[in-house]
Chains A and B, each alone.
Chain A
C-alpha cells in the first residue's frame, strides 16, 4: 500500500508545479455555472417558487456542487492514458513492474485530481456565495459526513472510467463509451436533481451511478438527513465492491490478450 501512497504523493507534488494550468481551466467551469445561473434565473418566476421541492438557490447550489465534482475530477489519465497504453502496447511496461497497473493508475489519478478538486471546490464556493449569498440550512457540523460520501463518489466515478478504458482490450477505441457515460453524468446527473425527472424514471436513476457519483453527495449538502446519508453510503459501498470485482475480472482477462512485437 505504501508504494501507491508514494505514487500518489509524487504525482500530487508534480501537479503542484502546474497550478496555472488548473487556474486557466476555471474559465469553462465559470462559464457553465454562469449559463445555469442565467437559465434557472429565467425559469424560476421568483425566489420563493419551488420546483420539485427545490428553491432557486438550492437548485443553483445543486449545479455548483455537481459541476465541482465533475470539473474538479476530470483528467486524462483514466481515459486517454489507459486506452493509449492498451492500444499502443505500452501497458506491457507496467506489467513487469513491482506494482499492480490498476492500483498505479488509481493512485496517479488521485494525485492529479486532489489539488484540482480543492481548487474547484474553493472556486465553486466563492462563486456560490458571491452570486447567491450562501446556502440556507447548510451546517458545517455535517462536514465529517460529507468527506466519506464525496470521496466514495469520486472513487466510484474513477473506477467506472477505468473500467470503460479497460474495454480497449477488446474495442480499439473506448472513447465512444466514455462519451456516453460522460453525457449520462452531465445531462442527467449534474444539471438536474433526480426529483425533477418523471416519476417513472426516478427509480432507474436512483439505481444508476448518478445516485452515488453526483446526486447523493450534492443532495446531502443541499438538504442533509441521516436517513439519506445511510442510503447513499450503502449504495456507494455496494458500487465500490461491484466495480472492484468487475475491474479485476476484466483486467485479468484483457491483459492476456496483450501482444507486443519488440519496440
Chain B
C-alpha cells in the first residue's frame, strides 16, 4: 500500500511538473501572470489599512493577524490551483463527457483528473502568502506551521471542490452551484471569523469548511493547541475520504458523450 501511495504521489508530481513546463513555453506570460497575481492580492492590503484606521481590532484580530489570514487564504487557494486545478473544473468535465480519457488510465481516476492542469497565476498566490508571512508574522515555527496548514488548507479546498463539483453527476445546474459555493468559501476565508455570529459561524466550520482550512490554522499560529492541530489534520483526512466517496459514487452514473479528445 505504501508503494502504491508513493507511486501515486510520484505521478502527481510528474503531472504538475509537466503542466508547469507546458505553461512556461511562453515565459513572458508565465512570469507576468505570477507577478500580476502578487500585485492583485496586494491591493487588499489597502482595504485592511482603511478598516484598521477606523478600528484597531476587527473580529478579535489585529492588523498582522488579518494579514496572516490573507496570506493563508491566498496560499491555500494557490496550492489547490497549482496541484489540483481541474478539481475546480470538474462540472465541465462531467457535463460535457470529458472524463473518458481518464477512465482508461491505470492510476486513480480522481487524482488523474484533478492534477491534469496547473494554474500559473496560483504560483503568485503561494509566493504572496509567504511574502505576507515574512513581512508580518515571521518565525521558524510559524514558517513550519504556515507550510503545513497551506497544504492542509489546499487539500480541504480541493476536496470541497470535488464534492460540490461531483454534484454534477446528479444535478443539472450543479456547475453554477459549485462555483458559487467555492467562491463563498474563498471569499469568507479572507475576513476574520469574529465578525460572523451564531448559525453562520457554525456553517463556516461545517458546510463551508473555511474554519478548518484557514481560521483554526491562524489561531494555532497565534497560540498552539495540540487538540486543535489534531482536529485540523483529522478533518482534512475526513473531507478527503468524503470527496473520494462522493466522486466514485457519482462516477457510476457518468455516461460518455463519445467526445474525441487527446491528452497532450
Contacts and interface: CB of A to CB of B under 8 A. Distances in A.
Interface of A: 20-21, 24-25, 27-28, 31-32, 34-35, 38-39, 41-43, 51, 171-173, 175-177, 179-180, 183-184, 187-188, 191-192, 196-197
Interface of B: 26, 28-29, 32-33, 35-37, 39-40, 43-44, 46-47, 50-51, 54-55, 58-59, 121, 173, 176-177, 180-181, 183-184, 187-188, 191, 194-197, 200
Contacts of B195: 35, 38-39, 41-42
Contacts of B194: 42
Nearest to B33: A176
Given A39-B191, A191-B47, A183 B184 contact: no
Interface of B is mostly: helix
B98 to A, nearest CB: 18
Contact of B58 (A21, A32, A42, A172): A42
A177 B36 contact: yes
A21 B33 CA distance: 29
Contacts of B29: 171-173
Given A39-B51, A172-B29, A187 B36 contact: no
Given A42-B59, A172-B26, A35 B188 contact: yes
Contacts of B36: 176-177, 179-180
Given A31-B188, A42-B195, A179-B36, A21 B43 contact: no
B54 A197 contact: no
Most buried by B among A34, A172, A183, A184: A183
A173 B184 contact: no
A180 B42 CA distance: 10
A183 B191 contact: no
Given A27-B180, A176-B35, A177-B36, 17 more contacts: A20-B176, A24-B180, A28-B183, A35-B195, A38-B195, A39-B58, A42-B58, A42-B195, A43-B55, A172-B29, A176-B32, A176-B121, A180-B36, A180-B43, A183-B43, A184-B43, A192-B47
A168 B46 CA distance: 29
Given A39-B195, A42-B59, A176-B37, A25 B188 contact: no
A42 B191 CA distance: 12
21 contacts: A21-B173, A27-B177, A27-B180, A27-B184, A34-B200, A35-B187, A35-B188, A38-B196, A43-B51, A43-B55, A171-B29, A171-B32, A175-B121, A176-B35, A176-B36, A179-B36, A180-B43, A183-B44, A187-B46, A196-B50, A196-B54
